[in-house]
A and B are shown apart, each in its own frame.
Chain A
Amino acid sequence: MSWADVTNNPLFGFTLTVLTMFLFSTLLHRAKTPLLNPFLFSAAAIIIFLLVTKTPYAHYEKGASILAFFMGPTIVALAVPLYKQIDKLKANALPVLAGIAVGVLVSLVSGIGLSLLFGLSREMAVSMAPKGATSAISMNLAQTFGGDPALTVAFVNLTGITGYMLGTKVFSLLRVKSPVAKGIALGTTAHAMGTKLAFDLGEEEGAMSSLAIGLAGVFTSLLMPLAMGLFGL
């Protein structure tokens, strides 16, 4: 029996993911800063483990894809906190919509603008642009406008991680106190990862962030052609 026989089974990738997440969650449990977040360390640890043991990604994916599948039902489940906060949402319809629309426009323009400023290719800039939308939407947009969906998924993840790590820092520097504003900014910037942080802050933040995932996706689809036009792409 070889190592490949062990890894070429859904149980391997599944258990490795749960085990790594558990280890770093326990280890970093007391860390007060999102900079030391279990997610980033777990992702890095799994990648290093796969590379060192020369385990093919395809083997890891057999189990990991089962876990990834649950992201769909989890997004549906976000309707529950949203429902509980529906009065707050109705009372803040204007700040919610405006916050998401402005955030999406800034995300698109800064993504494309900075990419071009750093001399990256058009393909990179287009793949970077929709990173604020959840991957199902952003991959499609990248494809439509001549980007590379695989790169977009990487940028979506990178954005999720940076948004998660910097969210609370930015809010305290700007003295943002409103739970609505925090939730909206996190969901608009960093989709699911941002929403995870939003739920850590409170249920109202989490509910607003859940809504922002969906609406940011809609706004990104609508505003992407405009942002591309601004840069003559």
Chain B
Amino acid sequence: MARLKGFLIILLCNLAGNLVITLIGLPFPGSVLGMLLLLGLLLGRAVKLETVESTANLLISLMMLFILPGAVNMMNVFDKFTGIIVQLLVIATAASVLTLISSALVADKLALLVNRDKKTEDAV
């Protein structure tokens, strides 16, 4: 029963997110809005963690399976890649590495700084 109720709450959040996006006509995924809505409900104690936890964990554990069809869909644009496939692989790899490096370094250095300040405050 708990799993069923949890699944219902997750679906309703997704639906509410989609509804808001449709109404205001923003190019943004309803599911991400639904995630923020569920987070708000959990923080506001309107939904208990135990109610959604097991369903959420199940869905997250199967995530790879849900993304896989999107990757198979790449076969439909292969003809547009003829002759530039190597370039595209190099670009995607290089851009990913650059993004990983910049994002990780900025977050890492600032996290160090923020936590050091906090420790100093605690000491004082």
Contacts and interface: CB of A to CB of B under 8 A. Distances in A.
A93 B33 CA distance: 19
A20 B72 CA distance: 12
A15 to B, nearest CB: 12
A29 B35 CA distance: 30
Interface in B53-84: 53, 55-57, 59-60, 62-77, 80-81, 84
A83 to B, nearest CB: 4
Interface string B29-42: 11110111111001
Contact of B69 (A61, A131, A158, A192): A61
Contacts of B57: 77, 80
A214 B75 contact: no
Interface in A123-174: 124, 128, 131-132, 134-137, 140-141, 144, 148, 150-151, 153-163, 166-167, 170-171, 174
A52 to B, nearest CB: 12
B97 to A, nearest CB: 6
B76 A71 contact: no
A31 interface: no
Interface in A66-105: 67-84, 86, 91-92, 94-96, 98-100, 102-103
Chain B, interface size category, equals 35 or more
A154 B77 contact: yes
Nearest to A162: B96
A115 B76 CA distance: 21
Interface in A45-66: 46-47, 50-51, 57, 60-61, 64-65
Given A77-B52, A78-B35, A153-B73, A178 B112 contact: yes
A176 B107 CA distance: 10
A110 B81 CA distance: 19
A217 B66 contact: no
A20 B69 CA distance: 11
A227 interface: no
- Report whether over half of chain B's contact residues are helix, strand or loop; otherwise say mixed: helix
A188 B101 CA distance: 11
Contact of A100 (B62, B84, B103, B113): B103
B49 interface: yes
Nearest 5 A/B pairs, CB to CB: A103-B103, A99-B107, A140-B27, A64-B69, A136-B29
Given A17-B72, A80-B49, 10 more contacts: A43-B74, A71-B66, A75-B35, A79-B52, A98-B110, A99-B106, A106-B98, A106-B103, A153-B73, A158-B92
8 contacts: A18-B65, A57-B73, A68-B69, A74-B59, A107-B95, A110-B95, A155-B92, A189-B96
